[in-house]
């Protein structure tokens, strides 16, 4: 485990479940103070209590990343409680499996607004509170940002948008001492994302068989990469899209997912 996050402040959007909560919990175990946001107040309360139970100073707020004023209020509250933000994780996202011709304007907009506009909101609203120099931003992407997948046109558009935001902000904010990277998890076991993309045991088996390393990832696989990227050991890494996907990006679409188009 990478240690040494004592006294650091970590803000995680979408940090109340799944992969993002796993990242928040990992930083909590490494001594950091954590602030999480998501829409559902009950999820926020449960996540914050869980982080406190791990021994961390933690707080959170209900906020929808599509609404700038809500994100800005959460950043202000985090900075008021915990000071400058050292590590900013933008992980809120939306996904569902749908053929392009079945995605309504509102469905496409929902995913673009949560993922792309939301990531802009999170980075923009955090900017006055980011430690300069020294802050590290981790945008949670996906293989869909780099390779096409069937039933995922909206997510491909959204995650590739996030990856370009990562590169553009790394370019603009590098001189201020802020590093910006994307972390791109492959299929992670027991997550909402996988329930939506591989909804039955046969699809799970096929998904796993298509992964070069022949297993789904774990929450810890993603959290360990985030901890490395946020550490001094990664102080020369910025503007990178870093997979933690068992090689999924090399072989993105299992046959059954491709057959989804025929059904
Ligand atoms: P998840 O548990 O559903 O996490 C999504 C989080 O975002 C939840 O905390 C959700 O909480 C929050 N959220 C959703 N819409 C929001 C909004 N408009 N404003 C604020 N918060 C919002 O799903 P997950 O599978 O762990 O995915 C987490 C991240 O990993 C996502 O960025 C996803 O694209 C990425 N990823 C996942 C996988 C995978 O295998 N699961 C693979 C690659 C990438 P509320 O409902 O309370 O808002
Ligand atoms: N196929 C096609 N369209 C779908 C869909 C599906 N499976 N699920 C939702 N949509 C469409 C809806 O029909 C709606 O469009 P319409 O008004 O034209 O009918 C649009 O998406 C918005 O849905 P709504 O439920 O009103 O939006 P929301 O803002 O409450 O939720 C989602 C956003 C749809 C992304 C929702 O799935 C969500 O909240 N996801 C967060 C959790 C998540 O996705 N976790 C996994 C991350 S990888």
Burial 196-234 (b: 16+ CB within 10 A, else e): ebbeeeebbeebbebbeeeebbbbebbbbbbbebbbeeb
Q: How many helices (H) and strands (E) does the chain have?
A: 10, 7
Distance in Å, CA 116 to ligand 1 centroid: 13
Q: At what angle do helices 18-29 and 219-230 cross, to 10 degrees?
A: 50
* 71: nearest Cα among 112, 14, 28, 18: 14
Query: Ligand 1 atom closest to Cα of 141?
Result: 44
Q: What is the pLDDT of residue 250?
A: 94
Q: What is the pLDDT of residue 252?
A: 81
Distance in Å, CA 109 to ligand 2 centroid: 9
Between β-strands 179-185 and 136-140, what pairing exists: parallel, antiparallel or unpaired?
Answer: parallel
Ligand 2 surroundings by CB, under 6 angstroms: 93-96, 98, 102-104, 106-107, 110-111, 192-193, 196
Q: Which CATH class name applies to 9-260?
A: alpha beta
Tell me, using a 6 A CB cutoff, whether residue 91 lines ligand 1: yes
Distance in Å, CA 120 to ligand 2 centroid: 20
* 171: nearest Cα among 227, 225, 80, 238: 238
137 forms beta bridges with: 88, 180
Tell me, using a 6 A CB cutoff, whether residue 162 lines ligand 1: no
pTM above 0.95, yes or no: yes
Q: What is the pLDDT of residue 257?
A: 67
Q: Which ligand is nearest to the CA of 196?
A: 2
Radius of gyration of the chain (CA): 18
Q: What is the pLDDT of residue 255?
A: 59
Q: In a mutational test of the pocket of ligand 2, which residue from 39, 43, 96, 186 has the highest number of ligand atoms less than 8 Å from its CB?
A: 96
Q: Distance (Å, rounded) from C-alpha 64 to C-alpha 81?
A: 20
In a 10 Å sphere around its CB, with 0-12 CB exposed, 13-18 middle and 19+ buried, how is residue 11 labelled?
buried
Q: Distance (Å, rounded) from C-alpha 186 to C-alpha 183?
A: 10
Q: What is the pLDDT of residue 261?
A: 65
Distance in Å, CA 41 to ligand 2 centroid: 19
Residue ranges of the domains in the chain? 9-260
Q: What is the pLDDT of residue 253?
A: 75
Q: Give the residues of the chain that fall short of pLDDT 70.
A: 1-3, 255-263
Beta strands in the chain (DSSP E): 9-13, 33-38, 58-62, 87-90, 136-140, 179-185, 241-244
């Amino acid at each position: 485990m990478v240690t040494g996050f004592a006294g650091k402040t970590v803000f995680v959007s979408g940090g109340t479940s799944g992969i993002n909560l796993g990242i928040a919990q990992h930083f909590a175990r490494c001594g950091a103070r954590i602030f999480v946001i998501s829409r559902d107040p009950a999820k926020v309360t449960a996540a914050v209590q869980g982080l406190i139970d791990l021994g961390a100073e933690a707080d959170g707020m209900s906020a929808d990343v599509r609404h700038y004023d809500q994100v800005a209020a959460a950043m202000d509250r985090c900075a008021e409680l915990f000071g400058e933000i050292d590590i900013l994780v933008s992980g809120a996202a939306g996904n569902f499996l749908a053929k392009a011709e079945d995605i309504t304007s509102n469905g496409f907009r929902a995913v673009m607004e949560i993922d792309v506009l939301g990531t802009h909101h999170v980075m923009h609203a955090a900017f006055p509170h980011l430690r300069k120099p020294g802050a590290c931003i981790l945008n949670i992407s996906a293989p869909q940002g780099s390779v096409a997948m069937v039933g995922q046109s909206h997510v491909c558009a959204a995650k590739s948008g996030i990856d370009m935001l990562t590169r553009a902000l790394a370019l603009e904010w590098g001189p201020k001492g802020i590093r910006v990277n994307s972390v791109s998890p492959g299929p992670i076991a027991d997550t909402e994302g996988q329930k939506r993309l591989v909804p039955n045991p046969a699809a799970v088996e096929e998904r796993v068989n298509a992964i070069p390393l022949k297993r789904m990832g774990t929450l810890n696989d993603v959290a360990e990469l985030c901890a490395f990227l946020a550490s001094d050991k990664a102080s020369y890494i910025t503007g990178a899209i870093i997979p933690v996907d068992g090689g999924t990006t090399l072989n993105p679409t299992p046959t059954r997912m491709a057959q989804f188009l025929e059904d």
